[in-house]
Amino acid sequence: MKTTSLLLEPGFRNLYLGSAVSAFGAQVGYVALPLLAVTTLHAGAGQVGLLSALATISVLVVGLPAGAWIDRMRKKPLMIVADLVRAVLLASVPVTAWLGGLTMEHLYAVAALTGVGTLFFDVAAQSLVPRLVGRERLTEANSLLVGTNAAMDISGRSFAGVLVGAAGAPAAVLLNAAGYLGSALFLRGVPAIETPPAHGPRHKLATQIGEGVRFVLGHATLRPIVLQGAMTNLGFPLYSVLLPVLVVSQLGYPEWVLGLYLAVGGVGTLAGSATAHHVGGRLGRGRAVWIVSLITTPASLLVPLLNDGAWIWVSAAAWFALTYRTGLNNVLLVSFRQRVTPDEMLGRVNATMRLILMGAVGIGGLLAGLVGELWGVRAALWAGALFMSLSWVPIYFSPLRAER
């Protein structure tokens, strides 16, 4: 029997559209916030690194309790509230900038608080998808969601470079806020498929948190996934956080070149997510993860060669290879995670994974700032290359290596 496309089903379609609009705005902000810090507040490498880290380091503070709270709550209203809160926070940045009162402390606070909102939104979304589509269609659903987010990487980051050059970084940040408002509007169309939270006796929060952590760290499938993801997420910020400093401040390229370079990564992620189902079917989903990783991670050694002339495009080609692997992994490994996790633990498991993975991003951002200040921007890029080049090892030495 022919299966109807998920995009024809109203529940998933509205979640998909909300995710797409939100992702476009977020990718504009991904470029605009550090550029605002560099061009308006004359931030250095350490300040830009801290700004990037605060967008994710907040996960370390609230990540584990968030999973237990989300398991007790309805996901759709929570996602809408997270969108609205992030929209208000980001809208405060251009308003303050146009009034002449913007400071790095303001940007730090906005980055940290929007990071908390993103944590709640993403964990709730990943917990809602299996209920919307069923576990048998998770790979299809994740391929659409990851692929669309990658397309938003391409369009959002490219557009951000143009918009910052034409209208200034504050206008680009305002567009980020508008994206979250659009996401909230689309999410209103997601049907109320969840049962009301139980009002009976509940386990203590600490007990529930412990259950989620033990499930992730004790599971033969989830443990290597989280270790591989942590190594990758530690390496990527060491590359990307200081790119505005290197490309715009040191090499003297215009902002649109930075946007185009980052958009190449979006193309890679889109290609990886679009081919994940096919590659997984040919090689076996577990085998595809480590084989593709083994083939692409040597490209990490070319990224630090970014320089004048053709070297910027050699580096961009390596960036494409690494992000192709990310797109493929995001589809296959997230689907593995959702399949092996019971419904009642999805929030805690997703939050535990998010804590480790996004915590690694935050730590990578801090390391990027520290290494950049002490030894220079290129030293941070070489440190990122080291982590990335070895990040396939945990999957190879796990049962996933032969998973078909």
- Across 271-296, average pLDDT: 81
Closest CA to 33 of 41, 378, 98: 41
Residue 1 has pLDDT above 50, yes or no: no
pLDDT band at 244 (very low <50, low <70, confident <90, very high): confident
- Across 97-125, average pLDDT: 84
Helix ranges (H only) for 297-402 are 311-340, 346-375, 377-389, 393-396
* Rounded-to-integer distance, Cα 178 and Cα 174, Å: 6
- Across 272-285, average pLDDT: 80
- Across 245-274, average pLDDT: 78
For residues 137-154, b (16+ Cβ closer than 10 Å) or e, as one string? bbbbbbbbbbbbbbbbbb
Ramachandran quadrant class, 30 (left: phi over 0; alpha: psi -120 to 50; beta: rest): alpha
Residue 89 has pLDDT above 80, yes or no: yes
DSSP 8-state code for residue 246: I
Q: What is the percent of the chain with per-residue pLDDT over 70, rounded to a whole number?
A: 90
More confident residue, 235 or 160: 235
* Rounded-to-integer distance, Cα 333 and Cα 148, Å: 17
Ramachandran quadrant class, 307 (left: phi over 0; alpha: psi -120 to 50; beta: rest): beta
Helix 10-39 / helix 255-283 crossing angle, nearest 10 deg: 140
Residue 358 has pLDDT above 80, yes or no: no
Cβ neighbours, 10 Å, residue 302 = 18
> Which pLDDT score, from 0 to 100, does residue 9 have?
76
